[in-house]
Amino acid sequence: MTATLALANIYNIAKTPSKSLQLVDELKRSNEATSQATNLASIVYVEVGAHLLKGDTAAAEAAINSALQVAGSRTNVLRSTMEAFFDARSFTNAVRWSNRLLEIEPENANALIKKSYAAVQAAMFTEAIDASTQLIASMTNSPSIADTAHFNRAIAYLQVGELDKAQADYEQARQSFTNSFQIFYGLGEIAYRKETPMPLFAITKPISPLSKRMPTSRLSSFSG
């Protein structure tokens, strides 16, 4: 199964989702492939991704619902669903499915960080603020993760006009990501809106190509 699933994923990467779906159909006919929750979740990730590549959201949703009906553990399927929509940059749907996962695992850090990022991208700023705030509260021993949440929340606050709160979050995020041009830009935008001088460090401090930049917020290696 592993080799077949890997090949199906490669077809998705190569933008040939029809070939991927052919292999998925073969796998789904195998009892061994769908008998374990982890196997089913892996199939869902590839299948949903293939349908999204074809622009068929309805088929993706049908595949998810079918898997949820037979899954012994809904958590794995929901996690794969969230990841598939996130990786396809279907951010509104990524937020929706992260909420479904968080109903079961309310402290799932990976779901919270993905929700905070996806919600910003989808202009769902209240959701972004709520997810980021919850993550910040739970990541006291992981400052870089907390500061990523501060960064996402700063963008959301900026977009809703909460300039003082946005500035405080940008300043906190700068503790981990000292030379991030996104943070410089955000603080510059706040200074412009407040009609105050540009932060001196944003003008005078060069951005080193070797300095720490903002992460993608995906935390692909982080499991919550």
- Using the predicted structure, report yes or no on whether residue 223 has a pLDDT greater than 50: no
pLDDT of 2 higher than 90: no
Tokens of 66: 């079918």
Task: Say yes or no to pLDDT of 170 above 90.
Answer: yes
Res 136 pLDDT > 70 = yes
Instruction: Supply the pTM of this predicted model.
Output: 0.80
The token pair that represents 117 in the structure block: 């990022």
CATH class in words for 107-224: mainly alpha
**Long-range contacts of the stretch 62-67 (C-beta < 8 A, 24+):** 67/40, 67/41, 67/43
d(CA 184, CA 152) in angstroms, rounded, equals 14
pLDDT in tens, 68-94: 887 666 899 999 999 999 999 999 999
- The dihedral formed by the CA atoms of 134, 140, 141 and 142, expressed in degrees to the nearest 10: 50
Q: Which pLDDT value is given to residue 23?
A: 93
- How large is the average pLDDT for residues 172-200? 86
> Using an 8 Å Cβ cutoff, are 105 and 75 in contact?
yes
Name the residue ranges covered by the structural domains of the chain.
1-88, 107-224
Cα distances from 210 to residues 118, 119, 143, 179, 206, in angstroms, run 27, 29, 20, 10, 11
Q: What is the pLDDT of residue 199?
A: 58
